[in-house]
Amino acid sequence: ALPGDLTSVSDVEAAVHGVDAVVHLAAILPPLADQQIELAQRVNVTGTQIIVDAMKKHVPKARLVFSSSVSVYGTPDNDHEISVSQNYDPDDNYAKTKAESEQIVVNSGLDSCVLRISGVSIPVFQEPPAEWPFLPDQNIEFVHRDDAVNAIVAGVSAKLSDSTRVVNVSGGSTWRMTGSQYVADYFGMIEVDPSDAVYQSDPGHFSWYTEEGGNAVLEHQQNSYPQYLEQLQDEIDRLMED
């Protein structure tokens, strides 16, 4: 590993020398991104510009895979699926920086792949959040942790067309549900009454997403929601045995 500072031109230029691809995952995340506006702008947006400039200078034929977020769509309309052609409508600073960074990438002239990643579900026991980041009746379509990784790895070498350079990374049909269903499944495993769940008062940045050929190219959807539940139950059972 080569340690460095994303906001340092010299560090980034040194890091990209001789590479065939760059996977850009670095970002200031919420809630910090919405609290420290200047820091998020410097890291998320300026850092992306520095990467693009360094690649154009030193490795102009290399692939750039950029990890973005479905938050760029803003507050979703629960009545329809979200397509990658939907206009940006960021409603917080983190989403704004991701939208700005996407534009830097797609307008760079580089061989690029932008991944708008949905909420990531990890098959391990975690304490329930103080507030679930969606409404009970909100449509959500999360993605398994391993499938998000699959998309990132595949993005390095996948044969892309103009229509698959920006893709939604979500779990697929088995992951389509409402927020209350997702919570009920989880609470059932940890033996908590779903009526005790607390949801945020406004819709979260989640919906159902159109496929549009993304999975056909990246082949990232390898773990269905039932498989995720089995993996999670196995992990909880293991913890109980310990």
234 confidence band (pLDDT: 50, 70, 90): very high
pLDDT for 79: 80
- For residues 150 and 158, give the distance between their C-alpha atoms in angstroms, rounded to a whole number: 11
- Tracing tokens 């993005």 back to the chain, one arrives at 155
Stated pTM of the model: 0.96
pLDDT at 152 over 80: yes
pLDDT for residue 161 is more than 80: yes
Q: What is the dihedral of CA 176, 179, 185, 191, to 10 degrees?
A: 170
Class in CATH terms, 9-241: alpha beta
Q: Predicted confidence band at 77 (pLDDT cuts at 50, 70, 90)? A: confident
CA angle at 30 for the pair 132 and 224, rounded to the nearest 5°: 50
At 211, is the pLDDT very low, low, confident or very high (cuts 50, 70, 90)?
confident
pLDDT for residue 242: 75
Residue 233's pLDDT is 97
Q: Rounded CA gap, 170 and 76, in Å?
A: 15
Q: What is the mean pLDDT of residues 210-234?
A: 96
Task: Note the Cα 49 to chain centre separation in Å.
Answer: 20
- Please state the rounded mean pLDDT for residues 121-139: 96
pLDDT digits over 35-46, tens only? 999 999 999 999
Q: Is residue 78 pLDDT above 80, yes or no?
A: no
In which band, very low, low, confident or very high, does the pLDDT at 241 lie, cut at 50, 70 and 90? confident
Q: For the chain, what percent of residues have pLDDT higher than 70?
A: 100
Mean pLDDT along residues 37-56: 99
Percentage of the chain exceeding pLDDT 90: 94
Indicate the burial class of 193 (C-beta count within 10 angstroms; 0-12, 13-18, 19 or more).
exposed
Q: Which residues, in sequence order, are bridge partners of residue 168? A: 116
Domain ranges of the chain: 9-241
Q: State how far the Cα of 220 lies from the Cα of 118, in Å rounded to an integer.
A: 13
Q: What is the pLDDT of residue 158?
A: 98
- The answer to whether 7 and 43 are in contact (CB under 8 A) is yes
Q: Is residue 68 predicted with pLDDT exceeding 80?
A: yes
User: To the nearest whole number, what is the mean pLDDT of the chain?
Assistant: 97
Q: In the prediction, which pLDDT does 18 show?
A: 96
